[in-house]
Structure 1
Amino acid sequence: MVSVASYNIRKSLGTDRRRQPDRILEVLGEIDADIVALQEVDRRFGQRTSSLSVENILNHTAYEPVRFGTRPTSLGWHGNTILVRKGIEVVTHRRLTLPALEPRGAVLADLRVNGATLRVIGLHLGLVGLWRSRQARAVLDHLHKLEERLPTIIMGDLNQWTTEGGCLAHFAEHHHVIAPGPSFHSSRPILSLDRIITSLDLDVEAAGVHMSAQAKLGSDHLPVWARLKLRAPQEPR
């Protein structure tokens, strides 16, 4: 069993218009997932400094970040990064560039968790439907080209307002698309923008939206989570 979560932290800017990274760290502690995909972790301009410092993550949470940033003070790639519970081995990690009118990217990490190797992708898709579909296909094409096939989890803010179709249709061709529930806007969630997608060899034991008081203040998105179980390989007949 592995627990995962995805959280668009909006550069740690809360719904009260206060930038409080410590509040985001508290929410991460509440979720207590093994693996977390974060979106909008870095400031947008200048040096793209992370709104969460590596030191605070290491000292005040159970996590360590996978470093995807290309600048010394940046943690993510186009705002995306992955946190793993301390003790989980990062086998490899890489940045993916996605087609877009505006800068977009995704991050990938292969992780050793409880004796199994999992592939995790964190992403934040664009605001325009045509480009979201192209970005989804780009992610799937990249996975297809990788030599080693692994149980895969794709998490992030898909910016897909509809419950089906669009970029979701591309992911659904060969994956489970989990809709944990409405996650936006955190003060009154009505849209399921944040999704968790898995390869067919992973079973969903439970999924939901984390709706604590701190989460409602921490960002305009609520975190989504899932508990997953790797399906045992079938015996040959």
Structure 2
Amino acid sequence: MITVASYNIRKAIGTDRRRRPDRILEVLAEIDADIILLQEADRRFGARQAALPFHLIAEHSGYAPVDFAVRAGGLGWHGNAILVRTGTEVLAQRVLHLPALEPRGAVMADVRIGRRAVRIVGMHLDLSGLWRRRQAHAIIAAVDHEAESLPTVMAGDLNEWTAARGCLRDFGSHFRFAETGPSFHARRPVARLDRIMVNEKFAVRECGVHASSISRTASDHLPIWAKLDFA
């Protein structure tokens, strides 16, 4: 069994409007997932430096970022990043260019968990429903075009409010969703903007939203998690 989490950290700015990356690391320690997909992990303007400084990750967590080699000082690609437990073997990694009016992207990595290779895809989709659907199609196509089919988990902030239409319906025709629950807004969660989904090679055993005193303050989103078995 592996545990996967997804977390929009809003550049480490909490609901109190203070930038506190140390709180994000505390939340990650509470979740204790094997794989963590982050959104808004880099600052939006300027050199887009990491909102979670590398030295803090190295010194105060058991994780290491997957290196997408996009820009010096950045944690991911258009704010999307993947953390794995220190020592995890990364077999392959790449960024996905998505159709968009504003800068959007996704990230993909193959990692070895125990003796099994696992594919991870992280994303943060557009505010526009039309562009979300185009981005969903691009991500699905990218996964389908991979030479080897692997147990795959995809997660992120999909910015979709209903599962009955839009990009969730598109993803749902290829993947199964973990019923994690509402994760936004952190102080009073009413919307399931954040999602975890898997292909047929994974089974979801448990899932939920991580609501603690720290997570309600650390970002405007609550992290979501799922425990997965290989099917």
TM-score by length of 2: 0.98
How far residue 69 of structure 1 moved from its aligned partner, in angstroms, is: 4.9
Q: What is the RMSD computed on CA atoms of the aligned residues?
A: 0.8
One-letter identity of the residue aligned with 1:102: E
Distance in structure 2 (CA, Å) of the matches to 1:69 and 1:48? 13
Question: 47-56 or 222-231, which moves further after superposition?
Answer: 47-56
1:189-208 correspondence runs (5 A): 189-208=189-208
How far residue 70 of structure 1 moved from its aligned partner, in angstroms, is: 2.0
The answer for the alignment partner of 2:170 in structure 1 is: 170
- Closer, same or farther: CA 128–167 of 1 in aligned 2, 3 Å: same
Percent identity over the alignment is: 55
Distance in structure 2 (CA, Å) of the matches to 1:224 and 1:34? 13
Distance in structure 2 (CA, Å) of the matches to 1:86 and 1:72? 21
- Which segments of 5 or more consecutive residues in structure 2 lack a partner in the other structure? none
Distance in structure 2 (CA, Å) of the matches to 1:226 and 1:87? 22
The answer for the alignment partner of 2:126 in structure 1 is: 126
Distance in structure 1 (CA, Å) of the matches to 2:171 and 2:60? 35
One-letter identity of the residue aligned with 2:161: W
Contact kept? 1:88, 1:111, Cα under 8 Å: yes
How far residue 164 of structure 1 moved from its aligned partner, in angstroms, is: 2.6
The alignment of Structure 1 onto Structure 2 pairs a total of residues equal to 231
The answer for the alignment partner of 1:224 in structure 2 is: 224
How far residue 114 of structure 1 moved from its aligned partner, in angstroms, is: 1.4
Distance in structure 1 (CA, Å) of the matches to 2:113 and 2:22? 27
How far residue 71 of structure 1 moved from its aligned partner, in angstroms, is: 1.8
Contact kept? 1:179, 1:192, Cα under 8 Å: no
- Which segments of 5 or more consecutive residues in structure 1 lack a partner in the other structure? 232-237
The answer for the alignment partner of 2:28 in structure 1 is: 28
SS of 1:141's partner is: helix
Question: 67-76 or 7-16, which moves further after superposition?
Answer: 67-76
Contact kept? 1:207, 1:226, Cα under 8 Å: yes
